[in-house]
Structure 1
Amino acid sequence: MKQSTTIEERSELKDKTAGIKEMISYLIIYIP
């Protein structure tokens, strides 16, 4: 296992978390 994470991997992780946050916000908005 390599400990160091590349910039690409970090940005990918950010994209994933951003997508999850977006989904959650949509659920909060559309489901009463």
Structure 2
Amino acid sequence: MTRGIVVGHGGSIACTSEAGKGTEFYFLLSKPTD
């Protein structure tokens, strides 16, 4: 669901995971132009 929203707005999403420490998710969205 989240991936669809981010990609639908022209962005990208990624994650990193480390056993015993958890997972971090990152997403990038373009700044709108006027």
* Structure with the higher helix share, 1 or 2: 1
Q: Same fold (TM over 0.5)?
A: no
* Structure with the higher strand share, 1 or 2: 2
Q: Rg: which structure is higher?
A: 1
Q: Which protein has greater RCO, CA pairs closer than 8 Å, 6+ apart?
A: 2
Give the TM-score of the pair, scaled to structure 2: 0.28
Give the TM-score of the pair, scaled to structure 1: 0.29
